[in-house]
Structure 1
Amino acid sequence: MYTFINNEESNKKKVIFIMGATGTGKSREIEPDSDFTPEDFCLQAIVYIEKILKTQRVPIIVGGSNSYIEQLVEDPVFMFNYKYDCCFIWIDVEQSVLNCRVDMRVDQMVKAGLVDEVRQIFIADADADYTKGIRRSIGVPEMDKYLREETNLDGDDESKRMILQASISSIKRNTRMLICNQLDKIQRLISEKMWSLHHIIATNIFKEDREENLDEAWTNTVLQPCQDIVKRFLKNDHHN
């Protein structure tokens, strides 16, 4: 296990980070053409962190881009390490298992209306820009060909089905690549930036041959160890 060790003064304000690879997500809070930059994330994160601290609670930052989290913690402009005592928890799942979960998650998203969601921000323009804003999110550019062709293929259900399936396969493939990049980023934060992370391995939870039910497995493998880590962190004991 990678353990968090803090040799700074103990009166820093405490912040907890839950990190790990993610799947595909959408945001309805950002305009489609607007870029939510790392600077935007940092500025908003600090505002909300301070609001939570004023209520005598401990902020917990869960998920999000590891690049954004890195900038928040490392950028000297924000002096985050100077102001805050951080505990990093990394929930890790073997990539082959994550890949299977990605496939299931994408299929669920399609059934839940992914195509209609993307259609709302689709631009039927040959010069549509998929390099900024929410349109660069995984799931949007991959649907471009299908949304362009669907009206031209009225009555040709088989062709529409094949194009849609190709788009879905691209979403799954690109999400797997994203996960790989996220895991590489975490390893780089450990090896190059010398971040100390509590490493929680949750792979067995998602295997079909586990002996416990899902809730029990999650509690025993993830929830309880994380609670123990946080209790020690809040007591200023950063050792195992």
Structure 2
Amino acid sequence: MTISMVLCNPSTQPIINVPCNGPKLINAKQKEKVVLVMGATGTGKSRLSIDLGTCFPSEIINSDKIQAYEGLEIATNKVTKEEQRGVPHHLLGIHNPYSEFTANDFCDMASLAMESIIGREQLPIIVGGSNSYVEALVERFGSRYDWFFLWLDVSMPILHSYVSKRVDEMVEKGMVNELRPFFSPNGDYSKGIRKAIGVPEFDMFFRSEGTTWDERTKQRLFDEAIRGVKKNTCTLACKQFERIERLRNVKRWNMQRLCATRVFEMHGNGDDEADEAWRKIVAEPSARLVAQFLYNEAINNNNNNNNYSGISSRARFF
């Protein structure tokens, strides 16, 4: 029996054929399988998880602690409903923004989500940048599941350049107006969604609004806030990379590393070229690795010229 990962054009050949011995994703005699997509901020984790979600019968669990809060969709870079492409998402924008979402909260809610997803014979795909939360989840439930770690990596200088441009795009989309309601003269930037990069950085700028300060001063404060957002986002990316390295080298997590640096280097060449590079360098290899993990059989390539980025239908068992 074969599971085909079908493109949205039904006349197109499947990207790869996945051998399988039965109609169910999960073999009851084995541990339930869980895929984790890891990487620093901005590396494309959400995109990859959704690509995989359109290939396999699966649902996605968010493990980004800031994205778990309600609000700040632009500043926290939450995937939109359109970007989710019909793949169900859990723990995304579900928590009160003014109360803490702890690692224990995440573990409890993620565990329930995994059980529910597996009960529907779907694959849980966990994705997000809060590696300390993921580590807590794996340590708490490590013996219960069969874990598969995909690490999406990008060279730091290339990633820093991309992140800087992404902040500018967020500003154009309305990030500053989105941040403004979370400003408070007496606000605590160590709790809840106010910990999000962007809220504390814009504190002085928001304090200047409604004052008699001259426009030149206000513009300087605005520019400083943007520089702060960029700098702190890059610092976060470095810390996330270091934690992943620790999980791999100290904790001995067996990670499948995918280097997407070439994809990011091609962003200036046009979307089509970058999308094609993503398909060949990231999407197709990831799909094959996950298929091997799920079905424990070798995967044969089938027509590598197919356009992976066009996938939108969910793989079914037939």
TM-score (norm: length of structure 2): 0.66
1:98 positional shift: 0.8
Identity %: 41
CA RMSD of aligned residues (A): 2.2
Counterpart Cα distance in 2 of 1:82 and 1:237: 23
Counterpart Cα distance in 2 of 1:18 and 1:62: 5
Contact 1:22 1:179 in 2 (8 A): yes
Tell me which residue corresponds to 2:294.
Answer: 234
Name the aligned partner's letter for residue 59 of structure 1.
P
1:157 positional shift: 2.5
Counterpart Cα distance in 2 of 1:10 and 1:206: 42
Match of 2:185 among 120, 124, 132: 124
1:111 positional shift: 1.4
Change (3 A) 1:153 1:179: farther
Counterpart Cα distance in 2 of 1:162 and 1:229: 49
1:153 positional shift: 4.0
Match of 2:161 among 100, 103, 106: 100
Change (3 A) 1:10 1:188: farther
Tell me which residue corresponds to 2:80.
Answer: none
Tell me which residue corresponds to 2:62.
Answer: none
Instruction: Work out whether 1:166 is the aligned partner of 2:232.
Output: no
Tell me which residue corresponds to 1:207.
Answer: 265
Name the aligned partner's letter for residue 215 of structure 1.
D
Match of 2:146 among 69, 85, 88: 85
Tell me which residue corresponds to 1:180.
Answer: 238
Structure 1: 4+ residue segments shifted above 6 A: 209-212
Tell me which residue corresponds to 1:12.
Answer: 31
1:60 positional shift: 0.6
Q: Deviations over 1:153-172 (max 9, x none)?
A: 46x32221111000110011
Counterpart Cα distance in 2 of 1:153 and 1:67: 44
Question: What residue ranges of structure 2 are gaps of 5+ in the alignment?
Answer: 1-27, 43-74, 78-91, 299-318
Instruction: Work out whether 1:25 is the aligned partner of 2:84.
Output: no
Tell me which residue corresponds to 2:174.
Answer: 113
Structure that is richer in helix per residue: 1
Tell me which residue corresponds to 1:4.
Answer: none
Question: What residue ranges of structure 1 are gaps of 5+ in the alignment?
Answer: 1-8
Contact 2:40 2:129 in 1 (8 A): no
Contact 2:129 2:240 in 1 (8 A): no
1:64 positional shift: 3.5
Name the aligned partner's letter for residue 44 of structure 1.
M
1:237 positional shift: 5.3
Q: Secondary structure at the match of 1:87?
A: strand
1:90 positional shift: 0.3
* More off after superposition, 19-28 vs 220-229: 19-28
Q: Secondary structure at the match of 1:230?
A: helix
Counterpart Cα distance in 2 of 1:11 and 1:28: 33
Contact 1:32 1:121 in 2 (8 A): no
Tell me which residue corresponds to 1:34.
Answer: 99
Instruction: Work out whether 1:57 is the aligned partner of 2:122.
Output: yes
Counterpart Cα distance in 1 of 2:102 and 2:41: 18
TM-score (norm: length of structure 1): 0.87
